[in-house]
Every structure is written in structure tokens, then in C-alpha cells.
Structure 1
Amino acid sequence: MTAPPGPSAPTPPPVPARSPAAGAGPAHEPRREDCPWCGAHRLRTRLRTGDLRRRTPGRFTVDECRDCGHTFQNPRPTDRDPALHHGVPGPGLPDAPRRHRSAARAVRRHCPEPESWLDVGTGHAAFPAAAREVFPYTSFDGLDPTRRVERARAAERVEEAFVGRLTDPHVRTLLRARYDVVSLFHQLELAPDPRAELRAALHVLRPGGHLLLETTDPRSLFAALLGRWWPSYDQPRRPHLLPPANLRAELEAQGCTVLAVDHRAGHLPHDLAGALGTMLSHALPAPGTPRRATPPRHGPRHALLRAAVPLVAAAGAADHALAPLVRRTPFANAYRVLARKDTSAP
């Protein structure tokens, strides 16, 4: 039986980043010998890969704790490029508005008329735009580390726009206990410290308010089937993947009542198309390749890639056709959690 997660184990100070000009790739923190979630020393290497989508220099290792199942980058890159953790969209999903409305309705069962709602990592505010159809009288605000949220405010998708991260001191101070609902869709896996991200989310939530989370499930059988091509690994931008039991225990430890954990609603039907698309993208010449070394646009490689486009479309169709079955099996790749902050919580 896994022991309840305690405070985050202290992370060793990062080593200075090497200059990109040195050609050695991004620097890394010292490798950990213990789990950053539970502190256990029983680790196993789950994955070794490069950056398959943007070709950031270097190799990345993903380890798993044999005790609690927490999956994490080890060592973690110290490259300060924010694209490592934010702003890199995943495979597009044609049913995204329907998914957003479904998530909003999950909240409505427990909180019929929220006055204020903060969507974290909102980007262009696609979720608030869709959720407003379910909650027409709710004031939706957006928080994002990029300026996209300001364009979303200009487009009237959110009432107020905040540039930054939940853990930024000025954000915590400004938004303390301000919201009835806080939503984080696939933000915990992007955070350098998921526990700190959860604490910050609860800090801006009013007592009795609701926290809506969606995050990747590292136990998905697609991870074993697709290996490094599994879209949800997305190295090096996802330093942490949390099993449902760990997230539930942490929310309860931070003063929440977990109302629902739902794999069927959380599953994203993109595994096959995402893996195939990444393979094809990886086959293209890397950005910055000298023009003289780049194969002709009408060469055999490009002809092969153009011919493979229908295969990606077919894989996407298969993802969606299989989704009603897959989301009820261990192949489900993500899960949704709805929790209520107890009125006695600080």
C-alpha cells in the first residue's frame, strides 16, 4: 500500500546552463535518485528519447517510481526556453467545443451558478468561449504565461486576462480567494512542481469552491504500445505525469473533497494519429538545415510524406471510432477530476 504523499522532496539546485554555442545541448539538473512525489528510491527508467516535435538538442529520460507510480523527467532540463513547458499545442481535436461543454456540465451538477471562474493556461480561451454556453451569467477570466490571453480578452472571450503562472507571487496575491471555480486542463504535467501548482489553484479558490482538472494518465496502455511516439509523453515539455491515486490523495491532503474521477470524460482520442503524425514530422529535415542539404520538395521523401497524409486522417478516424470503447479500458490516456475545497481549508 502506497504511503500518503508528503511534502515535496527538496530539489537539488540546478547546475548552470551551458551556452547553446557550446553544441552540447541544454543543461540538466543533477539526476535524482529518489521520487519527487513520495521520496522513494525505487526508480525504473521508462523512456529515453529526444525532442520529436521541435528538435530541442539533447536526450531526455523519463523515470517511474515503483512505489507510487509517479512518472517524471530525470534529470530535468534547465533550459529557460518557456516553450519547454508552455505554448506548444498538441494534436487538434475536432470535437474540442463539445468536450469543453461536457466539462462545464460536469461542474454544473455540483455548482449550478458559479459567479466567477478562472481558466488556467487558457491560451486563446477556447474553453471559456464554449463554457459560456453552459454558464451564460458566469464571469470567466483567463490566466496564461503568453500574451495570447490578452488577445482573448480583446475578442471578449474572457472578462479579465492575466499574464503569468499560478505560482507567481503577484498572481497569488492579486487573485487570492477570488473564484468559485478554477479549471486546469493538462496544466499539471507542464508544471515544474505539480504540488505547488495545486496549492496555488486552491489559494485563488474560495472555500467551498470547485477545482476542475484534466491530466494525462501515465498508466495508459497506449504508453507501452506506442513508446516514445505516444503523444502524451511530449518530451521535454511534460516533466510530470500523475497517476489518479496520487492526485486524489494530494487533493485530500490539501483540504479538498474529491467528487469525481472520470477516465471516460478525460480520454483524448488522438493517440494513433498523434503518434503517426509525429513520426512523419520527425522524418522531415530539422529546422535550420542548410538549404543545399535539404531534399528537394518534389523528391522521393516528400512524395512519400504527401502520400502518407491520408494515413494520418485514417488514424484520426480510427481514434474517434474506437474512443467509446477505449475510454472504458486501461487504454484511456487521461482523466478528469472534480474536487471541492472544504470550507475549513485556508
Structure 2
Amino acid sequence: MTTAETGPADRGAQVAARRPAYQAELADGTGRFFGPRRATCPWCESARLTVRLRTTDLLQHKPGRFVLDACQDCGHVFQNPRLSSAGLEFYYRDFYDGLGEQRLGGMFGTRAAAYRNRALSVTAFAAAPGSWLDVGTGHGHFCETARGLFPDTAFDGLDLTEGVELAERHGRLRRGFRGSFPALAPELAGQYDVVSMFHYLEHSTDPARELAAARQALRPNGLLLIEVPDPGSRYARLLGRWWLPWLQPQHLHLVPVANLRRRLGELGFTVLLEQHREPHDPIDLLAACWLLLDEIAPREDAPWLPGSPPGRPSRALRTAVLLAGAPVLLLAALLDRLIARVAGRTGMSNAYRLLARRAEPGS
């Protein structure tokens, strides 16, 4: 039974049930959650690296410290040392599913306008795609919204979590594939007119393999639609570790737009569209203020935190801190909306979107 099915009233019992396993995993520290540190850039192999950011898990507050390095030659930003397979499993657990499923599923389900905006990017180049694969689909809410623009398109989704199976059961997807995209690509070869990756590539351990898998899954002349955080955003430097799109420890690679354009060209794609204003999500200041307030306030109960569950005084203090910060959050939200009007032309956009066409064989 999933968190969404049991409801929030059972959260305390679920936290208590998970606590022994989490505490046993953390008894020897977090060292096994990381691989070896790289000496070269994973995008261009340059050895000219510099530390871009040091931070902690500001969302779940799971223990660990994380470093993002930047390549001084190509600008690629990447987690170094990167999470190991054990680390990926540990830090993703209870974020998109389990304890986090109800909260995240509800949030993604309210973003219909953003999903429609993404789908509209395709309309000028493919009026009625026959089949569409959304990679990193989560609970399939994008596909549900996009079907309103493309009622005759068959939408499939792919993801690592159980959300994709829930999406298929709820009818948001024709088919839901659970697993690694590069591993499943041979099975999906040549089946799709459109492949989309919305805020997916930055989570992957090897973006180049994901792009190659997309090329394999597409038919000739098929479209690849990618949206990712923009590490070149002015907000990234202005807000530092409080910039939400850093999203440590989940975001492993943040790719500058010029790098991605070149790599797509090397794979035989032609970039048809580059957008910065349209994919911008006006949440930077609001999210930064929320993360700061959440860091100041006493923690909510979580099975990976040491000690006993927070008592009534701690819960009351947390509520008081968040209520005191409400005016700041409101002001931040208003400023986000105002800045959004000029974000695309002032370098403040927090994301970019590329649409590319796969060339026909031999062309």
C-alpha cells in the first residue's frame, strides 16, 4: 500500500516503521554512498576543475555533504564525488515515492499550465504525433495534460520509481516502463515520434548514454524535447546554495546550453528550437526563502534523523517560525512573478528547453 493510499494520518506510524532500517544504514556513516572523486570533467575530460558549491540536503535533510565542481573549459557542472548506486538508492528513497509520494504527487498534479507550455513547444513541428515517450515521467501528469492538445497521440512513460506504474493504473499512460532508459532503449527502438525529457537529464549518471538512448527510441525525423535547469542562470550565483535547481544530492549533472546543443549535433540531431523565457519557473526567491526558513526551524520527524521524534514544544516552535516567515514568503512570491516577465532576456531564467529533430539515416 502506498503513502497516497494510506493518507497523511499514518505518516507517524510509517516514519516509526522505517526508523530502525535507516538508523542501521547510517551507523557506519555516509562514506559508502559516494564513489571516488573525479579528476577530470565527465563532459569534455578537461582537468581544469574548480569547486562551484558545497552544500547539504536542504529538502529531506538526510545526512551527508555534497560538492558540485565546474569545468573551467566547457562550463559543465557536476557532483564530485558522485553518489554511488547505494547512495542513489538511499537519497531517492522516500522522496518521489514512499513517504514523499503524497506530497510530491499532489504538487506535480497542480502544474497543468507548465505541462501545457511544454507540450506547445512541439505543435509547430508535429501537429499530431502518433506516439510519445515521456522519460522521467514520474506520476504521468505531463502526459495527462498533453493529451488535451494531442488527443490522438499514444503517451507512454518511463521512470525508475513506482510512480510510473501508478500512472498506468490511473490511465495517464498507455504503457508505463519502469527501469533504466539506456537498458530499455533496445526494446523501444524506433517506436516513437516524440521523446521528452523534462528535468530528467540532470538526474542521470551518464547524460551521453541517455541522449543516445533517446536517439535509438525515436523514429527517423522524430523529435527530442529536453528541458533542464540552466547552470548559467544569474540566480545560481545570486542565491548560492539556496537556489532550488541545485537540488543536492539528486542533480548529478547541470549542462550549459551550448554543450547540449553541440552534443545533440554530434548525435545527428538538428536543433529546431531553443527557449529560455518559456521554461522559466517563477519560484527562485520563494523557494530560497522557504529553504532558509526550513533550515532555521526545528526539523519535522523523519526516520533518518537521529534521536526521538520531536515533541510538542519543538513542533510548536517550527510552526511559529514558519508563520513568522509567511510575509517574507509572500513578498518573495510577488517578486518572482515580476522578475519572470524579464527573466528570459536578463539571464535570470532558471531553465532552458531544446527541441531537436533526429536526422534520417544517411542524411
When normalised by structure 1's length, the TM-score is 0.87
Cα pair distance change 1:281/1:304, threshold 3 Å? closer
Q: Deviations over 1:211-268 (max 9, x none)?
A: 0000011011111111011100011100100000000000000010010111111211
Partner letter of residue 34 of structure 2? H
Q: Secondary structure at the match of 2:150?
A: coil
Check conservation: 1:93, 1:270, Cα contact below 8 A: no
Cα pair distance change 1:289/1:20, threshold 3 Å? closer
Alpha-carbon distance between aligned partners in 2 of 1:36 and 1:296, rounded to the nearest angstrom = 48
Pairing 1:1-346 to 2, within 5 Å after superposition = 20-78=26-84, 79-82=86-89, 84=91, 87=96, 89=104, 92=107, 96-168=111-183, 171-283=184-296, 284-285=298-299, 287=302, 288-291=305-308, 294=311, 296-297=313-314, 299-344=316-361
- Structure 1, 220-229 or 284-293: larger mean CA deviation: 284-293
Cα pair distance change 1:141/1:306, threshold 3 Å? same
- Structure 1, 82-91 or 282-291: larger mean CA deviation: 82-91
1:294 Cα shift? 4.9
Q: Secondary structure at the match of 1:69?
A: coil
Higher helix share: 2
Partner letter of residue 162 of structure 2? R
1:305 Cα shift? 2.0
Alpha-carbon distance between aligned partners in 1 of 2:81 and 2:193, rounded to the nearest angstrom = 37
1:293 Cα shift? 6.4
Alpha-carbon distance between aligned partners in 2 of 1:336 and 1:310, rounded to the nearest angstrom = 33
Partner letter of residue 69 of structure 2? D
Cα pair distance change 1:52/1:91, threshold 3 Å? farther
Gaps in structure 1 of 5+ consecutive residues: 1-17
1:27 Cα shift? 3.5
Q: Secondary structure at the match of 1:67?
A: coil
Alpha-carbon distance between aligned partners in 1 of 2:357 and 2:135, rounded to the nearest angstrom = 17
Match of 2:16?
none
Check conservation: 1:72, 1:240, Cα contact below 8 A: yes
Percent identical across equivalent pairs? 42
Alpha-carbon distance between aligned partners in 2 of 1:292 and 1:133, rounded to the nearest angstrom = 45
1:162 Cα shift? 1.0
- Structure 1, 316-325 or 207-216: larger mean CA deviation: 316-325
1:82 Cα shift? 3.1
Cα pair distance change 1:92/1:230, threshold 3 Å? farther
Partner letter of residue 37 of structure 2? R
Alpha-carbon distance between aligned partners in 2 of 1:344 and 1:161, rounded to the nearest angstrom = 29
Check conservation: 1:295, 1:301, Cα contact below 8 A: no
Q: Secondary structure at the match of 1:149?
A: helix
Check conservation: 2:33, 2:87, Cα contact below 8 A: no
- Structure 1, 329-338 or 98-107: larger mean CA deviation: 98-107
- Structure 1, 267-276 or 96-105: larger mean CA deviation: 96-105
Gaps in structure 2 of 5+ consecutive residues: 1-23
Q: Secondary structure at the match of 1:316?
A: helix
Cα pair distance change 1:184/1:343, threshold 3 Å? same
Partner letter of residue 241 of structure 1? L
Cα pair distance change 1:172/1:120, threshold 3 Å? same
Cα pair distance change 1:49/1:135, threshold 3 Å? same
1:121 Cα shift? 1.0
Check conservation: 2:293, 2:321, Cα contact below 8 A: no
1:19 Cα shift? 5.8
After superposition, the CA RMSD in angstroms is: 2.4
1:271 Cα shift? 0.6
Counting matched residue pairs gives 327
Partner letter of residue 60 of structure 2? R
Check conservation: 2:271, 2:356, Cα contact below 8 A: yes
